[in-house]
Amino acid sequence: MHLKILLVAVAALAALGVANAQQDSPNCETSCGNVSIPYPFGSGEGCYYSSDFLVTCNRSSRDQPIPYFGQGNIIISNMSTDKSDMEIMALVGHDCYNSSGSREYSFPYIWLRDFRISANNKFVAIGCDTYAEFRGRRGNDSDIRSGCISACGRNSLITNGSCSGVGCCEEAVPEGLSSFSMSLDSYNNHTNITDFNPCSYGFFVEQDKFNFSTTNLLDFGSVRRMPMLLDWAIGNLTCEEAKGTHNFLCNGNSECDQDYDGPGYRCRCKEGYEGNPYVANACQNINECDRRTHNCEDDSMCRDTNGSFTCKCSKGFSGDGRKEGGTGCTADQSTIIKIVLGISTSTAFLLIFVAWLYFILKKRKFMMLKEKFFKQNGGIMLQQRISGNGSSHDQAKVFTIEELKRATNNYDESKIIGKGGYGTVYKGVLSDNRIVAIKKSKLVDQTQAQIEQFINEVVILSQINHRNVVKLIGCCLETEIPLLVYEFIPNGTLSDHIHNKGKSLAITWDIRIRIATETAEALSYLHSAASVPIIHRDVKPMNILLDENYVAKVADFGASKLIPIDQVELATIVQGTLGYLDPEYLQTNQLTEKSDVYSFGVVLVELLTGKKALSFDRPEEERNLAIYFLYSLKEGRLFQVLDEHLQLNDVPSEIIQVSRLAERCLRVKADERPTMKEVAIELQGILTSMVQKHPWVQSSSNEDEGEYLLKEVANNYECTNGGNVSNVSSSTFHSMSKNAMLPIASGR
């Protein structure tokens, strides 16, 4: 009996010594290339636990040694004893066809003993005509089969990072497979896509180690191996069964992993230790104090112990000193009294000091903040510009931020009446019950260009006094984002009325011609009558507001430019709205008054046709309204493009005259376009003629002015044509042959 006990003890010590000897032996390599070889793995006789853990280090490579799993061709890229897994570079299977239909393929397989294919892998297939399948065994289970199908269809559906079955598919790997084989095939032998992707590829890969790219369909053939995880354990005995054997490896500061429920057993270092749990005494103590991984309170001192640590409270405190799961450090009663008195005294002194400092600095800080915003928003620049222009008009009012907050209910979203490229517009009610529009500019980055643009709009509007230009009431510079206050125009924009089916019926032809006339008069005033000529640079229906009587008001001068009196044109960065931009300005960057004339010509065409200047919903030849209108006019198809909401049975002469005027405004060369003053005079003449022929047509101008403008029109025609007025070509307007044609001036 004593002899048996002695033999068992000797055998246990011998097993313990074997593990140490296998690591300490000079024949046992600890690494191969850049891969470490921890026990139970080993390279060399007697260096590994069993033949299943043999690592063959191949040094024939010119670069660096390559570790192989066992004596096969599976390359090992990493081994871990704390997670009991091993990363290998598994072969990629392929199935390829060439243009002649010849097939070349290779399908890898793996068979394992003490190792299992980790469920942290996934099975991936790449191809445009591919179905992939893998088979495996798990313990005594019969074959487990799974796979996926990948097809490309339309190339636009192939997406980077997506393995949903378009160009790439993937399948989860079942837990505990001890072997696998794969097969790849195609439905059509890649005959339809040989030039694009004649191959199918299949492989097992570790999760998060492969992200599909569309380029894989073209160049994945160069990839031979992919990283794959294998799980491993020792033998086939459970922890309880293996503890009684002589070669049980969980000794010293390591223990058997009770959470593992697969075949065999695994070791892990006890809590507070780290190292290789499969080697005796290799699990070493972790110094939590040095690593600062302890949970001692700040008022306690950490002391390291084997496998753990202790916390000691400072003098005047008691407890175990631990934050979580402990009592912490509690101050003694005398210490608490001292702390409370100290905190109370310090707090009272601090409050008194802060209150005193607050009242001293509050007023100064408030004034500095207002001054900062005033300078930041260009207040000094605005003062210089206004004082330097010699204007005699009333100065715009400077509002306080409190006034505008009350007017807009603190900028409530329900008060928003519009958003544009340069800011948001709110409806507000001032203290004197005036209804105004308040524009909050977009000056997020506070660049110099944006500040100048804001100041530009203030200066321009402060110089304008015209009934068809929206009136600037004032501004506010006390906020981070400056504000402009305008008169409120209640009836929305011209764009709302001519492009809205419900509203366009109310905009009759006489109202439209009056709106066009008023807009032309406003632009003519800006070009000719203002103290410094002003080019609007963004004329469009969205920037023409209508009041309750459909009186036009030109608005939004954020992109406008002042033109020095001695200059005809100005070099600028192109700015405006597509569809309304002067083509000559777009090419040369030379801004002139004729740029507004072109944009106004597009507005005239919108009034005539009811269509938007640019729309990609229309056929290609109709997308640009100006070009399509000119083509229709040339082909004599004016009636077909007119707005159906005008409810016309024929084409009145006034529409023909306006159409010809629009054609001249839209000429490519700026020199061939009329000026806005000439346009305004001609439109006023047309409007006056309509009033005389149709007394129900209401003109917005007084009769004397209408008579004067009518004379100006006649004089212009007489000067241009030597007293003769050209007749309209019947070929130009053949679709209107039923109508009595009025003579139209051929041009200037």
The CATH number that applies at residue 306 is: 2.10.25.10
Clarify whether residues 200 and 274 are in a common domain.
no
Above 60 in pLDDT, residue 83? yes
| Catalytic residue flag (residue 538) | yes
Q: What is the pLDDT of residue 570?
A: 64
Question: Is 60 exceeded by the pLDDT of residue 698?
Answer: no
pLDDT value of position 469: 92
Out of 424, 455, 488, a domain closes at 488
pLDDT band of residue 574 (cuts 50, 70, 90) is confident
361 vs 630: which has the higher pLDDT: 630
- Whether 321 and 185 map to the same domain: the answer is no
Q: Are residues 667 and 602 in the same domain?
A: yes
pLDDT digits (tens, 9 = 90+) for 585-609: 989 888 899 999 999 999 999 999 9
Do residues 113 and 15 both lie within one domain? no
SS3 150: strand
Q: Which of 333-347, 480-494, 606-620 has the lowest mean pLDDT?
A: 333-347
Choose the catalytic residue: 538, 582, 596, 643.
538
Same domain for 667 and 552: yes
Q: What pLDDT, on a 0 to 100 scale, did the predictor assign at position 395?
A: 61
User: Positive or negative, the Cα torsion across 690, 696, 698, 702?
Assistant: positive
- Is 365 labeled as ligand-binding? no
- How far is it, in rounded angstroms, from Cα 637 to Cα 731? 11
Q: Is it the case that residue 518 has pLDDT exceeding 80?
A: yes
pLDDT exceeds 90 at position 675 = yes
Q: For the chain, give the number of residues.
A: 748
Tens of pLDDT along 391-419? 545 566 778 888 999 999 999 999 998 87
Tell me, yes or no, whether 82 lies in a domain: no
Q: Is 346 inside any structural domain?
A: no
- DSSP assignment of 113-143: SSEEE-TTEEEEEE-SEEEEEEEEE-TT---
Whether 340 is covered by a domain: the verdict is no
Give the chain's domain count.
5
pLDDT of residue 706: 35
433-475: per-residue pLDDT in tens? 999 999 887 755 566 766 776 776 677 777 678 899 998 888 8
pLDDT at 394: 55
Can you tell me the distance from the alpha carbon of 161 to that of 208, in angstroms, rounded to the nearest whole number?
11
Q: Which of 488, 518, 542 is the last residue of a domain?
A: 488
Closest CA to 44 of 21, 16, 11, 17: 21
Rounded mean pLDDT of 675-681?
95
Q: Are residues 209 and 245 in the same domain?
A: no
Domain annotation covers residue 271: yes
What is the SS3 assignment for 665?
Answer: helix
Structural domain including 294 reads 288-332
My answer on whether 605 and 691 are in the same domain is yes
As a whole-number percent, the residues of the chain with pLDDT over 70 amount to 82
Co-location of 426 and 545 in the same domain: no
Kindly tell me the sign of the dihedral angle through the C-alpha atoms of 171, 172, 175, 176. Answer: positive
Q: Which of 488, 504, 526 is the last residue of a domain?
A: 488
Most confident of 64-73, 99-108, 373-382, 420-429: 64-73
Residues 660, 551: one domain?
A: yes
Q: Strand order in 416-420's β-sheet?
A: 397-398, 472-476, 483-487, 435-441, 423-429, 416-420
Same domain, 512 and 613: yes
In this structure, is residue 354 part of a structural domain? Answer: no
Answer whether residue 432 is part of any domain. yes
Confidence label for 633 from pLDDT (cuts 50, 70 and 90): very high
CA 583 to chain centroid, in Å, comes to 32
Residue 630 sits in a domain whose CATH number is: 1.10.510.10
Q: Whose CA is closest to 463, among 386, 528, 545?
A: 386
The mean pLDDT of the chain is 81
pLDDT of residue 717: 34
Do 128 and 208 belong together in one domain?
A: yes
The answer to the question of residue 348 being in a domain is no
Q: In this structure, is residue 514 part of a structural domain?
A: yes
Between 558 and 485, the more confident residue is 485
Let me know whether 568 and 440 are in one domain. Answer: no
655 in Cβ contact with 637 (< 8 Å): no
Alpha carbon distance 326, 329 (integer Å): 9
Nearby residues of 387 by Cβ (< 8 Å), 6 or more positions away: none
Distance separating alpha carbons of residues 651 and 153, to the nearest angstrom: 54
Closest CA to 744 of 651, 640, 661: 661
CA distances for 607 relative to 151, 399, 497, 548, 690, angstroms: 53, 38, 10, 19, 17
112-121, 228-237, 383-392, 607-616: least confident range: 383-392
